[in-house]
A and B are shown apart, each in its own frame.
Chain A
Amino acid sequence: MSEFKIGQREAENVSILELKGYLDAHTAPKLEEAFQGLLKSQRYRIVVNCRDLSYISSAGLGVFMAFIEDVRNNKGDIKLTNMSPKVYNVFDLLGFPLLYEIFKEEKEAVTRFFDRTK
């Protein structure tokens, strides 16, 4: 049984990562690999859908911190969506909503990329 999975798809030239399960120090390297893959193929518009994310620890939060600068330097962004209250509370406790745009629905986050380019 795998405790953490990542699904990846494209929507309107935006890369969507779908996180499922438990994101901790053990599984964080998987998310790191996914971001590295996106950056390697120069995909900087990234939406992370957290609908099925059950848990996050600081090791998981650290991954977002590790890539945001690179992504923004390339005129992209990492936007987060569909968080459960439990996961949102951890982001909130550390003040992450000041640094990341967090949306209720994935569609809003995708649309936001196009608002900016207009």
Chain B
Amino acid sequence: MKTSSIKVESRTERLIAVRDFVSEAARTFGFGDEDISKIALAVDEACTNIIKHAYRSDPTKTIQVNVSAENGTFVVAIRDEGARFNPMQVQPPDMKEYLSHFRRGGLGVYLMKSLMDKVEYSIVPGNANEVRLMKNLPR
């Protein structure tokens, strides 16, 4: 099983490095441009949530991003040690309602779930949060 990882400081200027890392990894696993864009965006949204909410923009904290393939599925595991945030508990927004009231923010989780085949959240050893973004590998 091939795996690779990147660890970045919790700063928004590092998002581009995370996107590049994940895009490159997805390409080596055989994904095409469209899927690579979706995966990179989903990972960006997950990391942005961590930076802003779990770590409340504290740049001394770090985010660990690990990519691997398990049983025909490409898995991006994103770990942080910040405040608990379970994206699975976020209710899907009623988009019509959302747009008609010009609300702002909170779209990240919705995007993550729409762009990937599966999203999971767990608390892992070391008391860290882990969000797992999954996409079926291309046949």
Contacts and interface: CB of A to CB of B under 8 A. Distances in A.
A94 B111 contact: yes
Interface in B9-49: 11-13, 15-16, 19, 34, 37, 41, 44-45, 48
Contact of A25 (B51, B96, B98, B110): B51
B94 to A, nearest CB: 10
Interface string A15-40: 00000001011100000000000000
A25 B15 contact: yes
Nearest to A28: B12
B110 to A, nearest CB: 7
A24 B107 contact: no
B104 interface: yes
Contacts, number: 64
Given A58-B45, A58-B108, A65-B104, A26 B13 contact: yes
Contact of B95 (A22, A68, A89, A95): A95
A11 interface: no
A95 B101 CA distance: 13
The dominant DSSP class at the A interface is helix
Contacts of A22: 16
Contacts of B37: 86, 89
Interface size, A (range)? 20 to 34
Contacts of B11: 26
Contact of B48 (A55, A59, A66): A59
Nearest to A100: B99
Interface string A99-110: 100000000000
B118 interface: no
B16 A62 contact: no
B99 A62 contact: no
Given A69-B102, A96-B99, A90 B41 contact: yes
Interface in A72-118: 86, 89-90, 93-96, 98-99
B127 interface: no
B104 A24 contact: no
Interface of A: 3, 22, 24-26, 55, 57-59, 61-62, 65-66, 68-69, 86, 89-90, 93-96, 98-99
